[in-house]
Amino acid sequence: MSPTISSRVIPSCKAMGKDTGGNRKTSRRLKPIVNKDARRISVKHKLEVMTNFTKLDIDWYRLDFYENICLNLLQAGYQRTYSELFQLVEMDKHRRIDSGLDSATSTTVPLSKQIGKLQAMLKFMIDAENANATQNYDEMYKKYLATANFFRAQKDDQWLVRHFLYKCNHTANKAVCVMNFLSTKKANAEEKIQSPTFGQLQETANRRLTESSYHIVKFDSDTGKYSDALRGANILYHELKRSPPYLVPPEDPALESDDSWFTTAPSMISVVCEQIVNCLLRRADEADNKQNDEYLQLLLTAESLANESENQNLVGDCAHRMGQFYGMNGDMNAAYEHAEKYYRLSKNLDKTHRLKSCRAMAELHEKMGDLHQARYYLTELEGVASEWGDPRIAAEVNMLLANFHVTQSKELAEACESAKNGFRWALRTENQELTNRLRLWCGIADGRLIEETFLTTVLCARTDPTAMVSLLKWRDARIPMRKINEEDFHRITKCTFLERKDRLGKQRLSTLNSTS
């Protein structure tokens, strides 16, 4: 048999050295393998490792992080943690769907993909489940509170803060129920519970329940849910009236062991009163009708709780709104009483309260027609604003002064000065709207001042050379006209009026003679 001829053509040595164009090419030669034995050993080792893979090892590379930790939790027996983690991931999915594609929530990374947060959260949740297994409800409460505190920093994780705060409340409720059940069988309870005593555990459970309610109220207030915060704060206030005095708990449970917390923490009932007052004042500011009895009753309730909290800032805010209410309803005596109370309190408060109190007193005296006292408080208001150094506030105060001098006191020179000072402050704010308003007031004050000076100067210019020169200088070079006081005006114009009177008398006499 003849050998089988392959279809592959083996080129000659000459053909290998040249390309189709006849140019010589460099031949491709095989290079020796460096460290051949070492590479062979490495490949062999990898093959041995791969052949020893278990199903768990394969799943670890096949599944993502969230699926792997779910498997690990189930294998380790943490069914409660697994169920809660699965519930949170599903809540996150539904939350993202409900928010819509155009919302900022839909653009955030899903919780199941945030490995760092999952690892930190799992540590707290596993510790909480271990504490639950030993019926250590106080430790379980602390772990849930620590989890909520961990998520406070991120704005997108506030729903997780709310979830774990309610877990704290649920745990505290469970602990109270257990203690109440054991209290009916106190003999058995004291046998089971050696240290600490049963009474201490019961007191701790009741305190934790109150603290969890406080954390929820504060969180609702901080996140803008004022209706929920007011509802919860009212319930908590009545509970605190019947319970022992408690201190405001820290957001981080680890700080409870710090001695400084016991010395600096305020009373919880006073802080709850402050929360209620803040919510009531916000509701008062949003009210459509601020002159009816319902609005007054709301302010009276806020004032009573503010006095109970001993927070002078809130007491001053309530007095300020009470003064405004009575002023709008025409009861000037009651309005003055509350405004003066706020003014006295503001001397020991910050500059914001001093500004508001001085302005309230000035407006009240202006309504009562006492321009001297109104000017006094406006001058004090200007001093406080200048001392503060805020350009926007200083500009607005000077605009208020310019308005007062133009419309009330008629002191036009001071109106011009206040308007110009306000304009200089407004330029520093880089607020175009405020700058334009102050520019307008500068024009109004200058115009009124020129109007007053111009009329007297024109009347005096016919007979007084100084007034004529002042008028000409103003016309040619816009040099400010010299203001003529009342005595000079009467002295200069008296001769002119007498001459005109005599001339009119002579004309009348000549007319009578001609007719006769």
CB 278 within 8 A of CB 230: no
Residue 480 lies in a domain: no
Q: How many domains does the chain have?
A: 2
What's the average model confidence in pLDDT over 387-397?
Answer: 91
Amino acid identity of residue 362, one-letter, is A
| Mean pLDDT on 300-325 | 93
pLDDT at 43: 47
Q: Is residue 208 predicted with pLDDT exceeding 90?
A: yes
Q: What is the mean pLDDT of residues 426-441?
A: 90
Give whichever of 9-23, 43-57, 58-72, 330-344 has the largest mean pLDDT: 330-344
pLDDT band at 318 (very low <50, low <70, confident <90, very high): very high
Residue 325 reports pLDDT greater than 80: yes
Given this model, what pLDDT does residue 197 score? 77
Share of the chain above pLDDT 90, in %: 45
Look at residues 436, 457, 478 and tell me which one is the last residue of a structural domain.
Answer: 457
pLDDT value of position 75: 86
Question: What is the predicted pLDDT for the residue at 498?
Answer: 59
Q: Of 483, 474, 477, nearest to 456 (Cα)?
A: 483
Residue 292's pLDDT is 86
Cα separation, 53 vs 158, in Å, equals 42
How confident is residue 511, by pLDDT bands cut at 50, 70 and 90? confident
Instruction: Assess whether the previous peptide bond of 196 is cis (omega < 30° from 0).
Output: yes
Distance CA 215, CA 170 (A): 13
Interatomic CA distance for residues 52 and 69, integer angstroms: 22
Task: Note down the domain range covering 195.
Answer: 56-99+107-220
Which of 18-27, 42-51, 457-466 is modeled with the greatest confidence? 457-466
Q: Cα(503)–Cα(474) distance, rounded to whole angstroms?
A: 32
Average pLDDT across the chain, whole number: 81
In a domain, 193, yes or no: yes
Q: Which of 85-99, 255-269, 331-345, 442-456 has the lowest average pLDDT?
A: 442-456
pLDDT tens, position by position, 52-108: 556 656 555 667 888 888 888 888 899 999 999 999 999 999 988 888 877 777 788
Residue 75 lies in a domain: yes
Residue 179's Cβ-count burial label (10 Å; 0-12, 13-18, 19+) is buried
Question: What is the pLDDT, as a whole number, of residue 392?
Answer: 93
pTM: 0.73
Alpha helix (H) ranges present in 52-108?
A: 55-62, 65-76, 79-99
The secondary structure of 150-182 as a DSSP string is HTTT-GGGHHHHHHHHHHHHHHHHHHHHHHHHH
What is the predicted pLDDT for the residue at 109? 87
* Greatest mean pLDDT among 262-266, 374-378, 498-502: 374-378
How far apart are the C-alpha atoms of 441 and 454, rounded to whole Å? 19
Domain boundary pick from 173, 192, 220: 220
Report if residue 433 sits inside a domain.
Answer: yes
Q: Does residue 206 sit within a domain?
A: yes
Confidence of residue 34 (pLDDT cuts 50, 70, 90): low
- What are the C-alpha distances in Å from 29 to residues 18, 21, 356, 453, 482? 15, 22, 92, 108, 108
pLDDT category at 32 given cuts 50, 70, 90 is low
Residue 12, pLDDT score = 45
Predicted pLDDT at 281? 93
Q: What was the pLDDT predicted at 346?
A: 93
* Residue 406 banded pLDDT, cuts 50, 70, 90: confident
Question: Once rounded to an integer, what is the mean pLDDT over residues 208-217?
Answer: 95
Q: Indicate the pLDDT class of residue 7, thresholds 50, 70 and 90.
A: very low
What pLDDT shows up at residue 268?
94
Domain-located, residue 515: no
Among 408, 454, 402, 447, CA closest to 424: 402
Is residue 366 one of the residues assigned to a domain? no
416: enclosing H helix or E strand = helix 412-429
- Mean pLDDT over 220-234 rounds to 93
Q: Which of 35-44, 76-85, 274-283, 499-508 has the lowest mean pLDDT?
A: 35-44
Bigger pLDDT: 21 or 205? 205
How much is the average pLDDT of 429-438?
A: 90
Q: Of the candidates 131, 130, 171, which has an alpha carbon nearest to the alpha carbon of residue 148?
A: 171
Q: Averaging pLDDT over each range in 194-198, 302-306, 385-389, which range is the top one?
A: 302-306
Question: What is the band of 259 on the pLDDT scale with cuts at 50, 70, 90?
Answer: confident
More confident residue, 465 or 146: 146
The pLDDT assigned to 326 comes to 92
Q: Quick one: what percent of the chain has pLDDT higher than 70?
A: 75
Q: From CA 248, how far away is CA 274, in angstroms rounded?
A: 12
Q: Considering 173, 199, 220, which residue would you say is the last residue of a domain?
A: 220
pLDDT category of residue 3 using cuts at 50, 70 and 90: very low
Assess if residue 322 is contained within a domain.
Answer: no
**What does the pLDDT read at residue 355?**
93
Residue 394 has pLDDT above 80, yes or no: yes
Q: Please, what is the Cα angle at 267 between 349 and 209, to 5 degrees? A: 140
